[in-house]
Amino acid sequence: MKIGVVGLGTVGFGVVEILTQQKERLEKQIGEEVTVKYGCSLDEVTLPEGIIYTQDFNDVINDDEVDVVVELIGGTTIAKKIIIEALKKGKNVVTANKALIAHDGQEIFETAAKHHAKFYYEASVGGGIPVVVPAKEDLIANEIEKIEGILNGTTNFILTLMETDNLDFDEALTIADGLGYVEADASLDLDGIDAAHKIQILAMNAFEIFFDFDKIKATGIRSVTKKDMDYAKKLGYRIKLIAQAKKIENGYGIDVSPTLISLKDMVANVNQAYNVVEITCNYLENVLFYGKGAGRYVTASAVVSDIMKTHQQDMWKHDYQYVENIYPITKSKYYVRCDHSLDIDYETYFSQDHDHIYITNQIELNDLLEQLQGETYNLFKVRG
């Protein structure tokens, strides 16, 4: 097996390190030689002896000796060209590129099938947490009914800091950014777009469907205040950015939003930059996948696992049906905070200072918004 790694940033160089340091053990596992032939990057780096450095990804794609192309440059432009061209040449491809799969997955999967090439992407969801492969292979006896979880470590880290260090949103964001947790385009994290990319990938495989990414309603954490977090905790909840996908009567409900989770729930107690994915299915019922969602070796380990999978006989197919009926999940309990009492149907109520806080009964969001018309309020989903 000869490998070309395109993109030698944090994760890419981690992949090269693992493949080099674990070469003997990996070769013993799959029964053949494992060699990194190319490392491709615009910025020159010092690679282990024997690996060819190039700035031109075409050197990798056009080399007949290369069996596996690893795309780790990110984005949806050049990365797409690299992947599509490699697949057309019958090369297997491994990526961590969640945005590209979310926006152009159908074209990529169809190209891979047409040219009898393998395409793996475990690292695109949850960093090093094995969830894509187990959901597609180990749960094959089950029909998956619902997926929900914390899929963005940056926002989870910010929310944790707000609670534990008594910080407001901007203060926590500054710390997270200083530690390198925040994407160069902060909106990907803060506005729920990154989590939406990931729930799109999980929903695609769970329900065997393709759909347009822009059908997913994503609401981020910019509106979450320290005050709301404190009130939620008094009510026995913790606010988390939750991505969820489930079958509903007329299609599929998929969205991302700040949500109150009971403190008794395991998901509520996943803190710092950790991720968790909870899958509900018909036979196994509930299963959780938990771990670090980012980091050089965390993500690189998932990439290397996918590289090794290209050696196996492929049982993956992506001949899914394209669907239009994707909707936000709007029927829920809701947390509402207002500076005066409201005439709404509620399960729990308390007031403090000038604030009136409600946990509503199950209600359609549009019905609740109609009742709140003309009011000034904060509103979040409540799970359960």
Q: Which residues are catalytic?
A: 198
Cα 242 from Cα 149, distance rounded (Å): 5
- Ligand-binding annotation for 183, yes or no, is yes
Cβ neighbours around 29 below 10 Å, total: 12
CA distance to 23, 89, 313, per residue, from 134 (Å): 25, 28, 16
Instruction: Look up tokens 């060819």; give the residue.
Output: 52
- Ligand-binding annotation for 81, yes or no, is no
Residue ranges of alpha helices (H) inside the chain are 10-21, 23-30, 57-61, 78-88, 98-114, 132-133, 153-164, 169-178, 187-190, 193-207, 226-234, 296-309, 365-371
Q: Which sign does the torsion angle of CA 255, 258, 260, 265 carry?
A: positive
Q: Residue 357 class from Cβ within 10 Å (0-12 exposed, 13-18 middle, 19+ buried)?
A: buried
Cα 230 from Cα 292, distance rounded (Å): 26
Cβ neighbours around 25 below 10 Å, total: 9
364 SS3 class: strand
Cα 321 from Cα 209, distance rounded (Å): 5
Q: Which segments are annotated as binding site?
A: 98, 183
Q: Which segments are annotated as binding site for L-homoserine?
A: 183
Q: Which segments are annotated as binding site for NADPH?
A: 98
